[in-house]
Structure 1
Amino acid sequence: MSSRVAVIVVSYNSAAVLPGLLHSLEDGLRGLDWRLYLADNASADDSVEITRNLVPACHIEQTGRNAGYAAAFNAALSQAEPYDAVLLLNPDVRLKPGSVATLMGRLGAGVGIAVPRILGEDGHVAYSLRREPTVRRAFGEAVLGQRAGRFPALGETVLDRESYFRDGPADWATGAVMLMSRACLDACGPWEERFFLYSEETEFALRARDRGFATELVAESEVVHIGGESRVSPALWSLLTVNRVRLYRMRHSAPATAMFWSAVFLREASRAALGHPRSRRAVAALVRPARLPFPPP
């Protein structure tokens, strides 16, 4: 009997990118028994209709509002039975043939989350592996910027390109594509809905690690991700920045959190002084996070 995979896609006005993902599912999930669950956050476009037309056997879970990423995932997961693993996908991902079965083969023996090598639309390797947030790494990134990732003690992003061509563990990985075992999900419980968007995958991966389930890169599995809106949108960047602090606060003491906040503030303030609009927005959000144009945590 082939492994049963619940494929969950969270959509919000995703009609422009959904067809590419949906067309890639059959080959990407070759050899597996799978069903698609679309968790739609009240899209005003044709996301639901497109999905129904291209994958008629899918289940549509409509949240009725823009509920956020984690809440939509949890809503779809509550309808996903039976399954041995859950594949969470962004709408702008394209699976390569056989990629999910390769991930599936790595689950178990302490691995609760398997992630592929991610390529950008231009074919270059995306630096999707991350280290656990620490005060030292936050200050390292404030001083060195993205280059800090070259030094494991000083940056969160794993910038060693060779690390993406061999299997190995990571503290966490970007959540565009994640295959999670049933055992891991049962042990960890729902995703944290206090994060409207960003840091929810970080929190889950760290919580899974706390319970003995590692996140592992499977280098033979490869997908394409054409996204990256947080790089250009000041509103999304400010939410990402504030949620980094929120996550750190959940796992650390108040004094440690104050130091982490200071490091993150230093990074954004220094870039705001150079005229970067998204950093100016992030500084304002760090000072007054309740003013973010998204539902509060």
Structure 2
Amino acid sequence: MSSHRPLPADRPLPAPGPGPRTGPVAVVAVTWNSAGVLPAFLAALPEGMAGTDWRLVVADNASADGTPDLLRRLAPDATLVQTGRNAGYAAGVNAALAAAAAWDGGPRAALVCNPDIRMRPGCARLLLDALDAPLSGGRRVGITVPLLHDPDGALHHSLRREPQVTRALGEAVIGNRRAGRFPRWSELVTDPAAYRRATVADWATGALMAVSRDCLDACGPWDETFFLYSEETEFCLRARDLGFATRLEPAAAAVHLGGDSQASPRLWTLLTLNRVRLYARRHGAAATAAFRAAVLLREASRAALGREASRAAVRALAGRAALRAAPRP
């Protein structure tokens, strides 16, 4: 067992030692009271990682349900990084990546995943093989994601477009799934054809993503000011700004349990606020005000239909603290 305090978001990760980039893949997972989902996650890893050299690094955010002991029992060879507090998802990713950076030569890539992911056989190899592919305009693939399925087998629409005022407005007026067919009017990509081919997206759901070593080195740590939600959005957009695209590898697949944010007013509020806060990081005050108004319209319309999570989000969006640093749930 090892312990580590997560690095501040503005401090670079420790530099890896010299050597070729042929080391193992760092399988990075962040846990917080994850004892209920961890055994199945671990059981799926050998087949999911088949054909790759890999090591598991788990950052635990002060679980109180025995998650660290369970990990030691079920995966004794894994590196356990204990942050000592509920530090948030991005901080957990940074803590695990910092531990992997200390390996001889460092990891050749990272596979960042939620513990409620169940990789299908060969998933990781397909994602890793798709990294670093050249694209037009001097870009290359820095992040790859698989097809995600719900537990009942339904496809999860995991690809996203960059947040824009018109897209937030389209989702408010039309609904994100119907608007998702039109690139101008929704962040969500719902076109079935996009999930049948290798599709480049502005960002994607962060439940499972492979990240190349070059992309990791160029981007640095994940932004810890996003305690939960929007951290993957920020990372993918930052990677894109630096020339690294996010691309779907449709031959790779995984099951994602997920779903907590939809039911919990507290988590939905945090998700909604962080959308606005991220937009404010990348745009001026006038554009941010318009984006916030569009998101508020969306949540208000759903609150009027009786959705309690949206009612909580409306109260938060209307408050003066909406653009301050994200609170911990």
2-side partners of 1:226 and 1:268: how far apart? Answer: 24
Q: Tell me the residue number matched to 1:266.
A: 297
Unaligned runs of 5+ in 1: none
Q: Does 1:24 align with 2:44?
A: yes
Q: How does 1:222-233 map to 2 (within 5 A)?
A: 222-233=253-264
1:288, CA displacement in angstroms? 2.9
Question: Contact 2:29–2:114 at 8 Å: present in 1 too?
Answer: yes
- Distance in structure 1 (CA, Å) of the matches to 2:328 and 2:119: 33
Gaps of 5+ in 2: 1-20, 135-139
Q: Deviations over 1:32-72 (max 9, x none)?
A: 11111111010001211121111111011111111000011
Residues 243-279 of structure 1: CA deviation (Å, up to 9, x unaligned): 0000000000111000000000111112112221011
Q: Superposed, which structure 2 residues align to 1:99-110 within 5 Å?
A: 99-108=123-132, 109=134, 110=140
In the alignment, which of 114, 125, 128 is matched to residue 158 of structure 2?
128
- Give the 3-state SS of the residue equivalent to 2:234 in structure 1: helix
CA distance in 2, matches of 1:274, 1:120: 26
Counterpart residue number, 1:184? 215
What displacement does 1:290 show? 4.6
C-alpha deviation, 1:231, in angstroms: 1.2
User: CA offsets per residue over residues 59-112 of structure 1, 9 Å max, x none?
Assistant: 111111110000111011101032010001111100111110011111013100
Match of 2:146 among 90, 113, 116: 116
Amino acid at match of 2:254: V
In structure 2, distance between residues paired with 1:268 and 1:25: 38
Question: Equivalent residues in 2 for 1:52-131 (5 A)?
Answer: 52-80=72-100, 81=103, 82-108=106-132, 109=134, 110-131=140-161
> Deviation of residue 287 (structure 1)?
2.2
Could you tell which deviates more after superposition, 160-169 or 283-292? 283-292
Which of 5, 9, 13 aligns to 2:33? It is 13
Q: Provide the C-alpha distance between the structure 1 equivalents of 2:279 and 2:69, rounded to a whole number of angstroms.
A: 39
Report if aligned partners of 2:22, 2:108 keep a CA contact under 8 Å in 1.
no
Matched residue pairs, number?
Answer: 296
Task: Give the alignment's TM-score, normalised by structure 2.
Answer: 0.87
TM-score by length of 1: 0.96
The answer to whether structure 1 residue 234 and structure 2 residue 258 are counterparts is no
In the alignment, is residue 200 of structure 1 matched against residue 220 of structure 2?
A: no
The whole-number CA distance in structure 1 between the counterparts of 2:305 and 2:146 is: 36
Which amino acid in 2 is paired with 1:84?
R
Distance 1:296 1:260 in 2: 23
Residues 147-166 of structure 1: pairs in structure 2 closer than 5 A: 147-166=178-197
Residue pair 1:2, 1:32 contacting (<8 A) in 2 also: no
Q: CA-atom RMSD, angstroms?
A: 1.7
